[in-house]
A = this chain, B = another copy of it.
Amino acid sequence: MGYKVEVLDGDWVRKTINPEAGYTKEERARHLRRVAWIARLLARNGVITLCSFVSPYRDVREEVRKIISEEVPFYEIYVKASLEEVIKRDPKGLYKKALKGEIKNFTGISDPYEEPERPDLVINTEEESVEESTKRLLDFILEKVGGEGYGQDNA
């Protein structure tokens, strides 16, 4: 569609920008504040920036919202799945290890997950197919960028 888009994903950011990030509440908060500033830099240059992070703490998400929305629009999207379901999926085998006590500070097992109270969009991955979720997310993004000056570059 000609939009500039970046995906800042947790695994990628931990490999590149933030290789020393840990998993305690304070380390996660530092990590996400940093990502918030980077997303703000990208978005103010017209780049639609999707940030996919675990971000389990309500107060840290509020900090992130504050940093970003000082300058550009911020939307919280809750990609929802129950603990039972994510334990079943477990693509990296991490829940299995966490349940055995082999990983500390693991969200949902040995650390809390504070559900968003008023997310801008909920993607309920247990009730929708991947295709349906993708379409809803894309429709949401297109509706939002329409009015907010993200130029389509047709050069």
Question: Provided the pairs A42-B45, A45-B42 are in contact, do residues A37 and B20 lie with their beta carbons within 8 angstroms?
Answer: no
Q: Which residues of B contact A56 (CB under 8 A)?
A: none
CA distance A107 to B110 in the complex (A): 44
Question: A143-155 interface mask toward B, CB cutoff 8 Å, 1 = contact, 0 = none?
Answer: 0000000010101
Q: Is A18 an interface residue (CB 8 A)?
A: yes
How distant is the Cα of A46 from the Cα of B17 in the complex, in angstroms?
19
Verify if A132 is at the interface (C-beta below 8 Å from B): no
Contact of A4 among B16, B20, B38, B45 (CB under 8 A): B45
Annotate A7-36 by CB proximity to B: 1 below 8 A, 0 otherwise: 000000000111010000000001000100
A-B contact pairs, 16 of them (CB 8 A): A4-B45, A4-B46, A6-B41, A6-B45, A17-B34, A17-B37, A17-B38, A18-B34, A20-B30, A38-B38, A38-B41, A42-B45, A45-B45, A45-B46, A45-B47, A153-B153
Contact partner of A151 among B16, B17, B20, B155, CB < 8 A? B155
Q: How far is the CA of A20 from the CA of B26 in the complex (A)?
A: 12
**Cβ–Cβ < 8 Å partners of A153 in chain B:** 46, 151, 153
State the CA gap A54–B41 with chains docked (Å): 22
* Complex: A46 Cα to B151 Cα, angstroms: 13
Contact with B along A36-56 (1 / 0, CB 8 A): 011001100111000000000
A4–B47 Cα distance when bound, in Å, is: 11
